[in-house]
Structures are given as C-alpha cells and as structure tokens.
Amino acid sequence: MTVIPKDVVLHRRATAVEAAESMESLRGDCARMAPHWAVPAAAAAAPVPPSLIHGVTVPPSSARLIGEMSEYGD
C-alpha cells in the first residue's frame, strides 16, 4: 500500500478547490467542451389540435386552486 504524505493531499485539495471556484476556469472548460456537443437538427413542433387531446383530467381541488388565482400583474 502506498502512503501519500498529508501535506501533498492537502495541497492537491486546495488547488482543486481554487480551480473549481474560478469563473474564468469554468468559462474555459465550457469553451473547450462546446466543439464536442452536437446540435441535433431542430424539428418544428406542430401544434396539436384540441380534438386529439383525450383523457386529461384535473382534480376539482386543483381546478379551484387555479381558478381562484389572480391574473399576472393584478
């Protein structure tokens, strides 16, 4: 079994914490990762006509809760 001196472990932890807390480090990591992310072709979502929506039920208590809420900005 290999024993690592305590001062080496503490130094590594401090360095890792400092690197993790740096916003510039985070931005750099994101910039390096961006080329690896593939963007899928966007498929336009077509609206669903209400006649195709079946089986949606709302409990009466939830309907009352929403019905009694004020409109945004009231």
Alpha-helix residue ranges (DSSP H) falling in 1-74: 6-20, 23-33, 60-68
With a cut of 80, say whether residue 8 has pLDDT above it. Answer: no
Label residue 7 by pLDDT band (50, 70, 90).
low
Q: What is the pLDDT of residues 9-63, one digit of tens each?
A: 566 555 655 655 688 888 888 888 888 887 778 777 888 888 888 887 888 888 8
pTM for this predicted structure: 0.27
Query: Residue type at 45?
Result: A
Label residue 5 by pLDDT band (50, 70, 90).
low
Rounded to 5 degrees, what are φ and ψ at 33?
A: -80, -25
> What integer pLDDT is reported at residue 3 of this predicted model?
67
